[in-house]
Amino acid sequence: MEHNTGTQQNQTFPLSVNCHHLDKTVDNPEHYRDGFKTQVLTIDDLAEAVLLGHAWSCATYDHSMRSKANYQQAQLIGLDIDNGLTLDDALNHPFVKKYGQLIYTSASHQKPKGDTPPCDRFRIVFNASQPIKDIDTYEQLVKAVMGHFPSADEACKDASRYWAGNSQAEIFILDGQTLPDSLIDEAKEQAKIEWEAREKRRIETLARVNEQNPDELKTLALEALNFIPPRQPGTGTYEESLRVLMALTTIFGPTEAITIAESWSPPMKGWNPARKIQGFRVGEVTAGTLFWIAQQHGFKFPEKQWHSLERYPIEPDADLYQAYVEWEIEQEKNEQAQETSEFINFLKAKFHGLGKHYKKGFGFTKEVEQTKVKLPRKITLTLNDPVPTPEDYKGLEPPIIIFKKGNRKKLYQKLINAGWKHILDASVPGSGKSYDTGNLASENGKHFHITVDHRNPSTPTIKHNFTDLNPRHKGIYQVGDRIELKGEKHQLITPSNCSNVDAFNQLYTKNYDVYFDGVNQVCRHCIYGKIKQESNELDSEGNPFIVSKCGAESGEGYGFLHQRKLTLSSPTIRCTTEQLSDVTAYNYSPDLFSIEEAGRTLGTKQITGSLNCFNRQMLDLRAKNLDYFLAIENLLNLRPYLEKDTKRRYGLRHKEILDIIGEAPENLEEIIQFIYNEFNQLDDVFVTPDSTGTVNYKEGGITREQAKTARRGLAIEAREKTLENIKRLPSNILFDLLEVWGGKKGAFKTNQYGEIIITRPDFKMQSILKTSQANLYLDATLTTVKLAALIDIDPTEIITVKQETITAKNNIVVHAVDFSGLGSNNWGRTRNADGELLTKEEAEGALKRIIATIDKLKDKFPEISIYALKKYEKILENHYYWFNHNRGGNHDQGKEAIAAFGKPLPDMGSLESEYITLFGVTEFDHELKPMGFDDYYDESCNQEIIQYVGRQRADLYPDKKFHCFIFAPDLDLTFLKELGYKVVYEDEYQYIPELCRRRKRDKWAILEAAKGLIKAGKKITQVAIAREINATQSWVCKLFGGNEILSWRDFCKIFHSLYKANKETGIITTGTEENATMQEWLGLKPLEVALDMIKAIHNEGWESVVDYLRKVCPHEAFQILGILALFTPNGYQVWQEFLPEVPF
């Protein structure tokens, strides 16, 4: 780094820095806009941020969201030099020498860029004498500076431009002066001139637009659109492109606007025109917006055609003009809405310290009225406080509302009345989300409670206040305290309500549309569907409705339709997502939905097919339409990868499949519609009793009962033949395969078993939740980003609420036990060579150690619950599993201890497919995961753990102590500490020392031996230690050499200090008080936060760090200081001084 010391180096400047960027890599596409946090830095600080790879912007922004609309101020000016000026030329440029502050090379410095050969590429930074708060003035100032550098990138004049960092940058810190104030004065004057010119053009543009009739306007709009560049990442045109989409929606309507927008600026990562337009309202911006933007890019209206003086000029279309006037009035109302918002006035009163019972217009001074309040990201509200409306936060991320216990139901109702449709309740597990929701009713419609286990709700209000919507079944059984669809005959409590359950289930599994063309193809061929009779209900003329026998009454093998109709008449219903009808068959607009464990209940759908299914559907298509088959024959390139090959560990991923099959044909939509119509026609599959013969007792000379028995036999025979036909049907994969190939939402992959798995969104639930009155999503760990993706809406439509809780959870300890051998989902074999199940005594490896650990835990906690993988339930005798019992349910409420083995590791391939399906990310290589997927995977795992540690409902028992164990390798539960949990890191040696590896056993034995030696007044030496642990001195030496973090000398130093601070009990107690370096030597989790403090010590000294450590948990502070003692000057001395403050 070259540094010229000048008078300006200590001056600070407001700017924004985004730490989510590393050079040109971003962990989440949203961080191209979000995360630009305001900082006040010197030029030296800015240079350091660049070298850390962080992105930065000259401006600061409201809500840390980078856009022109959120611009606050800027003082620095940056220019991007990509070609035409060398680095030496720049350093010697008169303007740079006089005013330059910083030059650094960009990541593409001396590298080829497209067709451009390698050259110098760098950025130059200047500074004004003061922050400039007017965006137009700032952009004019940038233009003035750019005038000295013709080769500067034109995009630099964008006030919201950001610059990528470069960890490999060459840095030149200059000693230039601030730009002269005369430049700012000229910029202000020029900004005023250009604003007046723009305003004049805007009025003229509006007039020209109003002159057009609708057809002329559309034609002219398409011409103007050709002048506007399509959306390109990094160009700073995101806001402009959004306004273009809004204008297209106003001019053409949503459907036609989508087609035009995708032709103008095709979808890509981070840019989905269709999704954006679906979220707009017609009239959000005027048609003039499109022409205004086009004019900035060179568009000009055609010359007016003047009419003869003898004729009147053509008047504008009256209806169009009236619509425009009405829209202008509506816009004015919207602008005034925030000024009259009860919530905004509440914030104003709060800002000025007025009482709770303020009233607008009474006690509001002019100063209060004119106060501009910053909308909070999080706010605590009482029952009497007004709630925000969607209009208050229009275009912004809605707040998180914190409420007090007992206020949940009323808060829900107030938010729904305020216009919020999607409410996420992210209160901690056990805070009563389900209980309170169970007492809610919809004011105008029904309340549907959606849950995975709807037959066995654990919450009493859900169980008693809601009617269970039974599915088609072959019998309902009482199995212990649970209601199941399988059981013994003596457990039957409800007979079968459908004779065709198997047919429905198989067709659903094979992805066939049972309700093809709105007609239930199974019921149409069922004998109970063919028999018609009068119902108890009357039509408008007083005549009874004629319905099927299944729809009129219930009996053995029929009555599902009748039961469903009765249940749907109830005001409160509980069911699964699969049991709901499509929006075309049921009107959900007045209804309320509550979704239990929404992150799990709302999900994606997977369709699986084999090579046989693929071949048969392709051959069927070839027989039905050869042209269509030839158009998609590239799919045949997948056949070699659909061969079963168990030696192949992994199958193909989404991007690999796309590379193999290439571009989709142009007529793909036509082919997809043909396949849907042809392959869902199932009439040939069904065999009806009538087709196997008829029995007439009058003509046959048999009794009525004999004829009935014969007909029943024919019906059973027909049903069995139908099932055989369905079993022979291939899985219906081609339709979804082609849709995903064509760019629709979804993902595909193959596995080593020769199957192709296609993941699609749950389109039915998306449409239901978009049409309902309001939706409550109950999930402590679900994020608004994922929820929005699951239901296909914008995250700004979701408001989050959380019940107020005590941050510190002092009555529960989470034991993070480092346990080897559980890093994957394969812990060892459960059967011997003959296929017989192993007994506990025969278990090997990790399973043997798990069994021994469970026995130790049960000695101390006899009622402890064990969570593990389902496949090991017989040998481990665990009743609970990850991804199932760790969410929802109160089976462990109040239980003193629970223990889980292994991490909740989601299937990597399935989660990746879900990620691509929800977020549309496809641009990644075979060896790379999609952008942000690592975080998505970790978040999924962490969410399961958060749900697990909440099973005991410790918050409900403040006077009781709880223990929650997690046995797994390399656990990092920092996120639990942030939620207030006390986490202690332990080792398996503390539970099963006799089964641990020798190296680990002997390390712990050394600690015990050292403690014994010092108690006996003997000196701690390697020879003495070796004698105590029955080992050689060379072996002891190895435990402190090589790659070990702790040397013998450091061990002795730390041990003596620890022992001195804890003479009564020694240092081996719960495993949490040991120095962090000692912990790592023992194989425990290192405390990485200490390393981050080394820099703080260097910059600010020990005093500020120790002051901070006194505010955190003493044991945690002690561990941090333990590492600092080894790596910092005076660290050991400070650590010793701090020891008396630690309450051992």
pLDDT 10s digits, 848-868 = 888 888 898 999 899 898 888
How many residues appear in the chain?
Answer: 1144
Q: How many whole angstroms separate alpha carbon 516 and alpha carbon 626?
A: 24
Eight-class DSSP state of 176: P
Amino acid at 674: F
pLDDT of residue 899: 92
Residue 533 in this model has a pLDDT that exceeds 60: yes
Residue 472 in this model has a pLDDT that exceeds 50: yes
- When pLDDT is averaged across residues 329-340 and rounded to a whole number, the result is 55
Residue 834 in this model has a pLDDT that exceeds 90: no
pLDDT band at 1057 (very low <50, low <70, confident <90, very high): low
Q: Residue 123: beta bridge partners?
A: 80, 104
Residue 420 in this model has a pLDDT that exceeds 90: yes
Q: How many whole angstroms separate alpha carbon 448 and alpha carbon 777?
A: 12
CB atoms closer than 10 angstroms to residue 839: 9
Task: Specify which of 546-555, 679-688, 794-803, 804-813 reaches the highest per-range mean pLDDT.
Answer: 794-803
pLDDT of residue 72: 92
pLDDT band at 352 (very low <50, low <70, confident <90, very high): low
Q: What is the pLDDT of residues 947-973, one digit of tens each?
A: 888 888 888 888 899 999 999 887 888
Average pLDDT, rounded, for the chain: 79
Q: How many whole angstroms separate alpha carbon 77 and alpha carbon 92?
A: 19
Spell out the residues 6+ positions from residue 243 whose beta carbon is closer than 8 angstroms to its own: 285, 289, 293
Amino acid at 591: D
Tokens of 321: 């003009």
Q: What is the pLDDT of residues 356-366, one digit of tens each?
A: 444 444 444 44
- When pLDDT is averaged across residues 403-411 and rounded to a whole number, the result is 91
- When pLDDT is averaged across residues 731-740 and rounded to a whole number, the result is 92
What is the residue extent of each domain of the chain? 2-191, 212-334, 470-569, 611-765, 809-989, 1040-1141
| Distance (Å) of CA 343 to CA 339, 355, 357, 367, 382 | 10, 14, 13, 18, 13
Q: How many whole angstroms separate alpha carbon 965 and alpha carbon 815?
A: 5
pLDDT band at 924 (very low <50, low <70, confident <90, very high): very low
| C-alpha closest to that of 398 among 387, 411, 385 | 387
pLDDT of residue 320: 60
Q: What is the pLDDT of residues 26-77, one digit of tens each?
A: 877 777 788 899 999 999 899 999 999 999 999 999 888 888 878 999 999 9
Q: How many whole angstroms separate alpha carbon 311 and alpha carbon 848?
A: 101
Query: Percentage of the chain with pLDDT > 90?
Result: 21
pLDDT of residue 519: 66
Between residues 881 and 454, the one the model is more confident about: 454
pLDDT of residue 96: 93
3-state secondary structure 198-220: HHHHHHHHHHHHHHCCHHHHHHH
Q: How many whole angstroms separate alpha carbon 652 and alpha carbon 225?
A: 41
Please check whether residue 323 is in contact with residue 279, taking contact to mean a CB–CB distance below 8 angstroms. no
Residue 392 in this model has a pLDDT that exceeds 50: yes
Tokens of 692: 């196997």
pLDDT of residue 251: 87
- When pLDDT is averaged across residues 707-723 and rounded to a whole number, the result is 78
Question: What 3-state DSSP class applies to 319?
Answer: helix
pLDDT band at 403 (very low <50, low <70, confident <90, very high): very high
pLDDT of residue 62: 85
Tokens of 236: 């700073």
Between residues 1067 and 106, the one the model is more confident about: 106
pLDDT of residue 931: 46
- When pLDDT is averaged across residues 986-1008 and rounded to a whole number, the result is 76
Residue 641 in this model has a pLDDT that exceeds 60: yes
Query: Percentage of the chain with pLDDT > 70?
Result: 78
Residue 1009 in this model has a pLDDT that exceeds 60: yes
Task: Specify which of 396-410, 878-892, 1004-1018 reaches the highest per-range mean pLDDT.
Answer: 396-410
Q: Given CA atoms 156, 159, 162, 163 in this order, what sign does their dihedral have?
A: positive
pLDDT of residue 8: 52
Q: What is the pLDDT of residues 243-285, one digit of tens each?
A: 899 889 888 888 888 889 988 988 887 688 887 887 676 666 7
| Distance (Å) of CA 65 to CA 37, 41, 134, 392 | 8, 19, 18, 17
**Cα of 402 vs its chain's centroid, Å:** 21
pLDDT of residue 16: 95
Spell out the residues 6+ positions from residue 962 whose beta carbon is closer than 8 angstroms to its own: 811, 812, 813, 895, 896, 897, 952, 954
pLDDT band at 756 (very low <50, low <70, confident <90, very high): very high
Q: What is the pLDDT of residues 435-446, one digit of tens each?
A: 899 998 888 899
Tokens of 848: 């043997």
Run of H or E including 1028:
helix 1022-1029
- When pLDDT is averaged across residues 556-572 and rounded to a whole number, the result is 90
Q: How many whole angstroms separate alpha carbon 189 and alpha carbon 679?
A: 69
Residue 389 in this model has a pLDDT that exceeds 50: yes
Residue 337 in this model has a pLDDT that exceeds 80: no
Tokens of 1004: 């712990």
Q: What is the pLDDT of residues 187-198, one digit of tens each?
A: 898 888 888 777
pLDDT of residue 1025: 85
pLDDT of residue 1075: 46
Amino acid at 796: T
Tokens of 581: 């009808």
- When pLDDT is averaged across residues 1064-1079 and rounded to a whole number, the result is 41
pLDDT of residue 1085: 38
pLDDT of residue 115: 74
Q: What is the dihedral of CA 136, 140, 145, 151, to 10 degrees?
A: 100
Q: How many whole angstroms separate alpha carbon 894 and alpha carbon 892?
A: 6
CATH 3.40.50 given to domain 809-989: yes
pLDDT of residue 513: 84
Residue 336 in this model has a pLDDT that exceeds 60: no
pTM for the model stands at 0.61
Q: What is the dihedral of CA 1097, 1103, 1108, 1109, to 10 degrees?
A: 90
Run of H or E including 79:
strand 71-81
Q: How many whole angstroms separate alpha carbon 210 and alpha carbon 291?
A: 12
Residue 177 in this model has a pLDDT that exceeds 70: yes
pLDDT band at 105 (very low <50, low <70, confident <90, very high): very high
pLDDT of residue 1128: 53
Q: How many whole angstroms separate alpha carbon 230 and alpha carbon 619?
A: 42
| Number of alpha carbons in the 13 Å side-chain half-sphere of residue 474 | 11
Of the listed ranges 84-93, 588-597, 769-778, 925-934, the least confidently predicted one is 925-934
pLDDT of residue 99: 93
Question: What 3-state DSSP class applies to 662?
Answer: coil
Q: How many whole angstroms separate alpha carbon 320 and alpha carbon 212?
A: 9
Residue 1142 in this model has a pLDDT that exceeds 50: no
